[in-house]
Structure 1
Amino acid sequence: MYNTRDRKKFVGKQDPDGAQIHSKFQYAHRLNFYDRPPLYDVTIEEFETCALDRLRVLAEIESSFARNRPWDELKTVTLAQCQKYVPLNNNTAITVDVDSQRRNDQLGHFVLRLAFCRSEELRRRFLKAETTLFRVRYDSDDRKERDGFLGSRSFDWIEVGDEEKNTYAKELQALEIKKPGEEYVREERYYKVRWTRVPDLVAKRKVLLRGGWAYVPSREQSSIIFQEFEANLARALEHTAKALPRMDEDTRLVPILNNLSQGFLAGVPSGWSSAPASGDEITAEMVDGIAKKHFPMCMRNLHESLMRDRHLKHFGRLQYGLFLKVLGLSIEEAVMFWRKAFSGLTDDKFNKEYKYNIRHSYGLEGKRANYPAKSCQQILLTDKPGPSDCHGCPYRHFAPENLQTSLLASYSSHGLTSTDLPEIMKTVKEGHYHVACTRVFEITHASKGVKKGEGVGGGESVTHPNQYTTRSRELEKSQEDAAMVVE
């Protein structure tokens, strides 16, 4: 157990039909400024799970910025991710535990605040993603509940009276957005705040400035709220950073926080187990054909190096072997595949030096652990490749010239052209390697109906090599099934 301070339990109730319903609204509003820390016991598993779920949403928000998604598209993608990982229902929902949802949302935020307060760069990225998430939720919230949230807080704005509105009627009229022939409406509400609180509106000339005050129309009221959220969170992150050294000796939490702080680099993988689903098995003979049509750049590079050199060094075998295992290659087929690939070795040398490691990765030797395939984050951050190694992420570890040459050589037959490279290389230069991989996926699967911005489905970015390959195979199968129906 990790004791955040006082112990409080949240127990959902049930209606007469047995359906789970929310408790007594300990968290009164769906929107949250997160200015009250969680004060209850949580397990280490819950501590990490809630943070990972929230990080998946924030990582996709950052990917959306890297891909220059328009606001409407970003909002759609973010809401889909929220519904999947961090759902927050309105108070009217009676078949879900609303308090439990809001509790997990709050816990995830505060855990990530611990993880991302460590440096100026991490604070900046976290602040931008969290503010965007708040904006998305604010725009999608029920109007009545949103007004209730606003009424529960003091935003230090002053509503402008009729006398003051009449004094500045001409200037305020210039701010109005009117349809042709429509007259100035004096009933429009305005709020006074210090102009330093709405710099974005000042820059866009959407407010009236007088004596250091900004007169904000009610339609722009949300700008005050977003700025307040961002300013509060920025201060909280700085305070958290000062208090964080007290946790350095906690060996339970520090490794988790270190791992979470890397989440923006390649997203957070989910749904990829250490064993293939039933019926998805492949044979050794199928690997080469699948590689040429469905593999991401990292696995394609490993496969082509193996076929060319008839050998891979240790970390290359580990990365590729676990990927093939999760893809559906059974232990028997794996031994056949690697034996054929290492054709320059005698049977005795292969059995002594390589067969044991293959069986070990399947959990059949040693401590018999069922090892999962490496995610994009693990490939990017661990076991950095040397000059003669083939493992790693090409988008990060290849020289720009070599990466462009390899992309064209590998994917030109799938629709990738030299005109696509500047966009891909721009994201690589900015350090958004999984975004570059996602864009390659979209380009090479455009003929199968994948549009720009769609990613591997629902706007989601690539976060795992097996995710890339599985989705690619699914698209091909769907296309084949459609063709059979027509036929």
Structure 2
Amino acid sequence: MFNNHERRKFNQKSEHSIEKEWPFRLNFYDKSPWYEVTLEEFEKHALDRLRILAEIESSFARNRSWEELKTVTTRQFKDYLPLNSNSASTVDTQTERRNDHLGHFVLRLAFCRSEDLRRRFVKAETALFRVKYESDDARERELFLKSRDFQWNEVEPDERKQYSSELKALGKGSTVQQLEEWFEKEKFYKVRWTQVPDLVNKRRVLLIDGWAYVPSKEQLSIVLRAFEANLENALDRTARSIMRMDNDSRLTDVLNHMSRGFVAGVASEYSSGPATGDEITADMVDDLAKRHFPLCMRNLHECLMRDRHLKHFGRLQYGLFLKVLGLSIDEAVAFWRKSFSNLTDDKFNKEYKYNIRHSYGLEGKRANYPAKSCQQILLADKPGPSDCHGCPYRHFAPDNLQTSLLATYSSQGLTSADLAEVMRTVKEGHYHVACTRVFEITHAAAGVKKGEGIGEGESVTHPNQYAVKSIEIEKAQLGDAMVVE
């Protein structure tokens, strides 16, 4: 990742030239990082970028329109990867662009390891580049395009005149006059047809002797294809050299964690304490489970109520979820004691109470354990035949999943007609997208629309995130009802 020659060259540069290392928001990421970074920076900026890329892939899986995807991505840009234009004189644009540069290269290391990961990374990064391109300052975008060789030539006046009728056929206009006006203003670029196969397929260019005549309104296609090809080649080179880094466990653990980010996105961190603003009691859990819990926690709760017992990983997954939701240690002990009603007090105290206190950081090494995210539930501790933990969208057989969804959520508006869309995303491996769609359907009566997710288009990446948002929606409805009354 770090090139010694480039680092020495960078260190020799003047302070003035360093300020112009990243002259544009747009970047083809040709130069690998030549600067030293801390492990904290290494992980933070990559995770921030991964949050955006994972949501872009979720948008593809949810069949969002380009405008919807752009809206969601632009909003996340502000939160995780701010990139201002040069006109923002009060902002440190070089630091912003350095973070963007670093995050990209760390993820390149994480996603170069298999053909499938490389394909998904290129697709998401290309969409991210397009969002930046379309939102960029027009003048800076033009300067960026001039700074690179895209192997295009502007069509000369003689050629424009020679092929004028064919070129006008590429324009839009309902009258001859409108086409003439468009043709006079439009620029045309000549490139090899292999640079714009998508435009050739859609018949948006004029083909003559292996050359494609591209109107400027389709110029972005040339740029995106060049970005894709550049990144694909770079990933291949990185994959061939990655083995030199595999001996450094400090990096490989982080990279392996990130390469799983497309499975269930990157979850927000949920610390201990009442996530909803209110503590919950043992007596409230059953009612909350039926109205607000995601399918994984509903399944654990129902298994617990039915069997009066949960195995170790089930207790761990459900117990930490309830802890972070707002169940205090005293209420947790009361809840589990009531749930394990077929045990004697002595057996419960000896075999289970210690583990409950341990998960709250009151025994053992006294660590404050967080609740498990969707990614952890999907990838760790695969459930066996008699286990209840895990993710139903991944670990249930398709028929069992459909039956469970209808039995669990039919009272909240889910119908058999909704299952086709949910099961399609499950089949494609987008389990958190399926869970997000179920959230939208079951909260449609409260005003949640398709595509909104758990708010502002965000997908579910954590069971507590699902439950907290559901509770917040209900509170808002109750507040509105009280105002009306």
- TM-score range for the pair, normalised by the shorter chain length: over 0.9
Residue of structure 2 equivalent to 1:34? 29
Normalising by the residue count of structure 1, what TM-score does the alignment of the two structures yield?
A: 0.95
Residue of structure 1 equivalent to 2:267? 269
- RMSD between superposed Cα atoms in Å: 1.6
Residue of structure 2 equivalent to 1:16? none
Answer yes or no: is the 8 Å Cα contact 2:276–2:471 preserved in 1. Answer: no
Answer yes or no: is the 8 Å Cα contact 1:284–1:336 preserved in 2. Answer: yes
> Which secondary structure state, in structure 1, belongs to the residue aligned with residue 178 of structure 2?
coil
What is the CA-CA distance between 1:340 and the residue it aligns to? 0.5
Distance 1:3 1:244 in 2: 12
Residues 1:155 and 2:153 aligned together: no
Residue of structure 2 equivalent to 1:386? 384
Residue of structure 1 equivalent to 2:472? 474
What is the CA-CA distance between 1:176 and the residue it aligns to? 1.6
Residues 1:46 and 2:44 aligned together: no
What is the CA-CA distance between 1:271 and the residue it aligns to? 3.8
Distance 1:298 1:466 in 2: 11
Aligned residue identity for 1:342: F
Residue of structure 2 equivalent to 1:20? none
Answer yes or no: is the 8 Å Cα contact 1:442–1:452 preserved in 2. Answer: yes
Residues 1:298 and 2:293 aligned together: no
* Bigger mean CA offset, 275-284 vs 378-387: 275-284
Residue of structure 1 equivalent to 2:68? 73
Q: Give the one of 343, 350, 356 matched to 2:341.
A: 343
What is the CA-CA distance between 1:186 and the residue it aligns to? 3.6
> Which secondary structure state, in structure 2, belongs to the residue aligned with residue 215 of structure 1?
strand
Aligned residue identity for 1:90: S
What is the CA-CA distance between 1:67 and the residue it aligns to? 0.7
> Which secondary structure state, in structure 2, belongs to the residue aligned with residue 82 of structure 1?
helix
Alignment of 1:403-414 (within 5 A): 403-414=401-412
Distance 1:278 1:266 in 2: 23
Q: Spell out, residue by residue over 1:427-456, the C-alpha distance to the aligned partner (whole angstroms, 9 max, x if none).
A: 111110000000000000001110000000
> Which secondary structure state, in structure 1, belongs to the residue aligned with residue 190 of structure 2?
strand
Q: Spell out, residue by residue over 1:257-304, the C-alpha distance to the aligned partner (whole angstroms, 9 max, x if none).
A: 111000000000014224435842111111111100000000000001
Q: Spell out, residue by residue over 1:408-432, the C-alpha distance to the aligned partner (whole angstroms, 9 max, x if none).
A: 1110110001110111011111110
Q: Give the one of 281, 284, 297 matched to 2:282.
A: 284
Q: Give the one of 395, 398, 405 matched to 2:396.
A: 398
Residue of structure 1 equivalent to 2:141? 146
What is the CA-CA distance between 1:59 and the residue it aligns to? 0.4
> Which secondary structure state, in structure 2, belongs to the residue aligned with residue 182 of structure 1?
helix
Alignment of 1:13-32 (within 5 A): 24-32=19-27
What 5-or-longer segments of structure 2 have no aligned partner? none
What is the CA-CA distance between 1:25 and the residue it aligns to? 4.0
Q: Give the one of 162, 182, 193 matched to 2:178.
A: 182
Distance 2:272 2:147 in 1: 47
Q: Spell out, residue by residue over 1:64-90, the C-alpha distance to the aligned partner (whole angstroms, 9 max, x if none).
A: 111111111111111112211111111
* Bigger mean CA offset, 374-383 vs 72-81: 72-81
* Bigger mean CA offset, 274-283 vs 403-412: 274-283
Residue of structure 2 equivalent to 1:485? 483
What is the CA-CA distance between 1:482 and the residue it aligns to? 0.8
Answer yes or no: is the 8 Å Cα contact 2:276–2:325 preserved in 1. Answer: no
Distance 1:387 1:167 in 2: 73
Q: Give the one of 299, 306, 311 matched to 1:308.
A: 306
Distance 2:70 2:339 in 1: 47
> Which secondary structure state, in structure 1, belongs to the residue aligned with residue 169 of structure 2?
helix
Answer yes or no: is the 8 Å Cα contact 1:27–1:103 preserved in 2. Answer: yes
What is the CA-CA distance between 1:312 and the residue it aligns to? 0.1
* Bigger mean CA offset, 90-99 vs 119-128: 90-99
**How many equivalent residue pairs?**
474
Which has the larger share of helix? Answer: 2
Residues 1:134 and 2:103 aligned together: no
Q: Spell out, residue by residue over 1:222-277, the C-alpha distance to the aligned partner (whole angstroms, 9 max, x if none).
A: 11000000000000000000000111101110011111000000000014224435
* Bigger mean CA offset, 91-100 vs 109-118: 91-100
Aligned residue identity for 2:161: N
Answer yes or no: is the 8 Å Cα contact 1:284–1:334 preserved in 2. Answer: yes
Residue of structure 1 equivalent to 2:200? 202
Residue of structure 2 equivalent to 1:86? 81
Residue of structure 2 equivalent to 1:18? none
* Bigger mean CA offset, 140-149 vs 310-319: 140-149
What is the CA-CA distance between 1:104 and the residue it aligns to? 0.7
Answer yes or no: is the 8 Å Cα contact 1:4–1:42 preserved in 2. Answer: no
What is the CA-CA distance between 1:91 and the residue it aligns to? 1.2
What 5-or-longer segments of structure 1 have no aligned partner? 14-22
Answer yes or no: is the 8 Å Cα contact 1:3–1:42 preserved in 2. Answer: no
What is the CA-CA distance between 1:182 and the residue it aligns to? 1.8
Residue of structure 1 equivalent to 2:102? 107
What is the CA-CA distance between 1:4 and the residue it aligns to? 6.7
Q: Spell out, residue by residue over 1:26-60, the C-alpha distance to the aligned partner (whole angstroms, 9 max, x if none).
A: 31100110111111111111101111110000000
Distance 1:248 1:53 in 2: 23
> Which secondary structure state, in structure 2, belongs to the residue aligned with residue 253 of structure 1?
helix
Alignment of 1:50-69 (within 5 A): 50-69=45-64
Residue of structure 1 equivalent to 2:91? 96
Q: Give the one of 231, 236, 246 matched to 2:244.
A: 246
> Which secondary structure state, in structure 2, belongs to the residue aligned with residue 192 of structure 1?
strand
Residue of structure 2 equivalent to 1:333? 331
Residues 1:214 and 2:209 aligned together: no
Distance 2:472 2:119 in 1: 38
Answer yes or no: is the 8 Å Cα contact 1:427–1:433 preserved in 2. Answer: yes
Aligned residue identity for 1:167: Q
> Which secondary structure state, in structure 1, belongs to the residue aligned with residue 124 of structure 2?
helix
Aligned residue identity for 1:244: I
Distance 2:203 2:330 in 1: 69
> Which secondary structure state, in structure 2, belongs to the residue aligned with residue 484 of structure 1?
helix
Distance 2:91 2:187 in 1: 37
What is the CA-CA distance between 1:183 and the residue it aligns to? 4.2
Answer yes or no: is the 8 Å Cα contact 1:25–1:98 preserved in 2. Answer: no
